[in-house]
Amino acid sequence: MISEISILVIENDSDISNMICDLLKQNGYNVNPAYSGTEALMVFDNKIDLILLDLILL
């Protein structure tokens, strides 16, 4: 079931992060946004199924 899949989106650009998160939510995924690596570590738990990571966080 898609609604049980949890995705951590790590993206420092808020516009891009919002777009990705909105699209994933519209498709039934649970989404946790983070805007930095530090924030991602605070949000992360063992219930995350997928991490989408911006490799160049400024």
- pTM for the model stands at 0.87
Q: What is the pLDDT of residue 52?
A: 95
Structural contact between residues 48 and 4, judged by C-beta atoms closer than 8 angstroms: no
Residue whose C-alpha is closest to residue 48's, from 27, 36, 38, 34:
34
What's the distance, Cα to Cα, between the start and end of the chain in Å? 35
pLDDT at position 28:
94
Every domain of the chain and the residues it spans? 2-53
Sheet order of strands, 6-10 included = 30-34, 6-10, 50-53
* CATH 3.20.20.80 assigned to 2-53: no
Write down the pLDDT at residue 24.
Answer: 97
Instruction: Specify which residues 15 forms β-bridges with.
Output: none
Q: Average pLDDT for consecutive 10-residue bins of the chain (58 residues)?
A: 86 96 96 93 89 84
